[in-house]
Structure 1
Amino acid sequence: MKKPNIMTVLVFLTGLLCIVSLFFFSWSTYRQIISTEKDVDAVSEQITAKQSEIHEAQEKYTSAVDQAQSNIDRLKQKEKNLSQKDTKEKAEVSAESSSKPSVFNEENTSVFSDSSATSSGLGHIVGIDPGHQSENVDMSALEPNGPGSSEMKAKCSTGTQGSYTGVPEYELNLEISLLLKDALEAKGYQVVMTRTDNDTAISNMERAQYIAAQGAEIYVRIHANGDDSHTTSGALTMCPSPSNPYVAQLSEPSAKLSQDILDSYCAATGFQNLGVQYYDNMTGINWSTVPVTILEMGFMTNENDDTKMNNPEFQQTMVTGIVNGIDTYFAAS
């Protein structure tokens, strides 16, 4: 057998070395490509996450802008209402001083104005309770659920909050109650308010007692509702049942008051009528000594109810419905 030539061996070894080098170079390149693809995927995921964060931030910004605009609109409407009220009061004072006849009372030689009522209020006295109050007031102390009751409940709470507007219930209740006060007084009613700001420390028991002490003939408690489901909507009223252990005698007139207000309110607003419901565990009802109702105006956890109840123009419609219900109640009494 002929021995291989040294040159042939060298050529063979050189070729083999080249093949091995090429293999390792290819393998290294392949691994770099795979690593690069992984890096690209990671960067792509980071970009996607950032885009999601940006989108979420844009939604929050848009929501904040919408809420701010809503608050601005509400403040403008409040300013407009106050301006109109001031103008109206000035006009009434002027008209009263210039056109009302004077009557001389011979017994005490005093002069007084003719103040006979000419509108539907006819001097009736209405008690209005804007439910709840600000979280700045600690009302966690307990009070009896009714006269002589051993069951104790917190004096008051802050209520619910708008899931879409962010407006606290206690704030909405006061806004509607103040508008309601103005509307009732314009029709000749006298109005007693349990609170006119959000920081008044007055319990549910004390509210009922105060309303009665002021001579109110009815007690209208203004509230808004909440529910775990965002689809639940509509208005309802609450009053004592005929078997209420404290105020059973108020059940019938309270039910009529509740029905009259609820029917008129729903007719005006278009809200679903969820009916009159009987509750015997409400401190503010159990301590009342006059016909009493709680109007749950709508659900602040429902987008339609929440946004409408916080719309200044729609609030006027809500108030009109409540006033019409009160008119109906007194017209039949």
Structure 2
Amino acid sequence: MKKPSMISILLFLTGLLCIIALIFFNRTTLHQILTTEKEVDTISEQITAKHDEVKQAVDNYTTAIDTVQSNINRMKQKQQTATQKKTKEKAEIPEESSSKPSVFSQNSTSAPSDSSAGVFSSDAETDGHIIGIDPGHQSESVDMSAPEPNGPGSSEMKAKCTSGTQGTYSGVPEYQLNLEVSLQLKDELEQRGYQVVMTRTDNETAISNMERAQYAAAQGAEIYVRIHANGDDSHTASGALTMSPSQNNPYIPQLFEQSDRLSRCIIDSYCAATGFQNLGIQYTDTMTGINWSTVPVTILEMGFMTSQNDDLKMNDTEFQKTMVQGIANGIDSYFAS
């Protein structure tokens, strides 16, 4: 048998190496293709998830816009009704000055005169406990930037009043929300047999935080409940809380125990009714409206207007009825304990 030549052997080996190389290349390529397909599937899933997130965000934004527009329309309707009412009243009574000065003399801290008392709501003739209700803040159209003492005899001065925060999702100003809830609370308390003193019944009355506390006490209020809403830069904070003077308050330390009990009764009942997170009581000695009070006092921060859940619920007409029930239940609890 003739031996193969060296050239034949080399050709055979070369061919064999080529075959082996092709097999290895095909396996590597197949692995790369499978890996790439998995990566493509992963990216596709991520894109789908992002698409769903964007769609949800768009839906939330659309809902918020619709709510804002609804609230704006509601406020316009209320303003139109108020304007028509004022026009009718002007036609029935002699024309008065268009300006609304403070219900207190700038040089006196005494109670307002009988002529100014008509700006407010009180019912001193009926039986029942007398409740002072203060709808916090007021319209920015009223300039209340002038300073007043932070407390009796205090050298620290603070602005007489501010307009407060605003709903991030509802677009409703805090002063408007506070007034809406307070007016409903007045009606509910009166139905329960209480007398109610309101520090304001519109958004333009010029009355400072100090004057509000003095007015409520001068009208015989046994407790002073200040209605507010909260705000936070994070937009994640939510829930309700009450604010009370501390045990070491330099102006009204004698009101600590009763104010603390009032604050506890209201926040517990309010959160039980609304389902809002109960953030408890915060003790503060920096609030002018607290420091000038001469009766047990609390501030209810009903919820965060920077929280989508809190803001939209607080500005829902039906939910406001639940809020009012919770506050009134807390006042019942205070007088029952």
Shorter-normalised TM range: 0.5 to 0.7
Structure 2 residue 212 is matched with structure 1 residue 211:
no
Out of 186, 201, 223, the residue aligned to residue 191 of structure 2 is: 186
Q: 1:70 offset after TM fit, Å?
A: 4.0
CA distance in structure 2 between the partners assigned to 1:236 and 1:207 by the alignment? 21
Tell me by how many angstroms 1:64 deviates: 4.2
The match for 1:249 is 254
Tell me which residue corresponds to 1:88. none
Cα deviation, residue 69, structure 1: 2.5
Q: How does 1:99-138 map to 2 (within 5 A)?
A: 123-138=128-143
Alpha-carbon distance in 2 for matches of 1:269, 1:78? 28
Return the match for 1:322 from 327, 330, 337. Answer: 327
**2:234 aligned with 1:229, yes or no?**
yes
**What is residue 67 of structure 1 aligned with on the other side?**
68
User: Contact conserved, 1:123 with 1:189, CA < 8 A, in 2?
Assistant: yes
Number of the residue aligned with 1:167: 172
The reply on whether 1:289 has 2:294 as its aligned counterpart is yes
Q: Please give the alpha-carbon distance, in whole angstroms, between the structure 2 residues aligned to 1:274 and 1:247.
A: 24
Mapped partners of 1:163, 1:154: distance in 2 = 24
1:308 to 302, 307, 313: 313
Change (3 A) 1:167 1:294: same
Q: Is the CA contact 1:77–1:312 (under 8 Å) kept in the aligned structure 2? A: no
Q: 1:2-151 counterparts in 2 under 5 A?
A: 64-72=65-73, 123-151=128-156
Unaligned runs of 5+ in 2: 1-56, 81-124
Supply the AA of the counterpart residue of 1:248.
P
- CA offsets, 1:89-111, max 9 Å, x none? xxxxxxxxxxxxxxxxxxxxxxx
Q: Is there any run of 5+ residues in structure 1 with no aligned partner, and where?
A: 1-55, 80-115
Asked if structure 1 preserves the Cα contact closer than 8 Å seen for 2:71 and 2:171, the reply is no
Which residue of 2 is the match for residue 200 of structure 1? Answer: 205
Q: Given the two structures, how large is their TM-score scaled by the length of structure 2?
A: 0.66
Cα separation, partners in 2 of 1:186 and 1:62, compared to 1, 3 Å: closer
Deviations 1:66-92 (CA, angstroms, capped at 9, x unpaired): 42234456888999xxxxxxxxxxxxx
TM-score (norm 1): 0.67
Which one has the largest radius of gyration?
1
Q: Who is 1:259 aligned against?
A: 264
CA contact (8 A) 2:132 2:197 kept: yes
Partner of 1:277: 282
User: d(CA) in 2 for partners of 1:58 and 1:263?
Assistant: 34
Query: Take 1:248 and 1:59, find their aligned partners in 2: how far apart are those partners?
Result: 47
- Structure 1 residue 319: Cα displacement: 0.2
Distance of 1:227 and 1:186 partners within structure 2: 35
Q: Please state whether the residue corresponding to 1:316 is helix, strand or coil.
A: helix
How many equivalent residue pairs? 237
Q: Secondary structure at the match of 2:228?
A: strand
Q: Which amino acid aligns with 1:321?
A: G
- Aligned to 1:143, the other structure's residue is in SS state strand
Alpha-carbon distance change, 308 to 78 in structure 1, aligned in 2, over 3 angstroms: farther
Work out the CA distance in 1 between the residues paired with 2:143 and 2:219: 26
2:221 maps to amino acid: A
Question: What secondary structure does 2:285 align onto?
Answer: coil
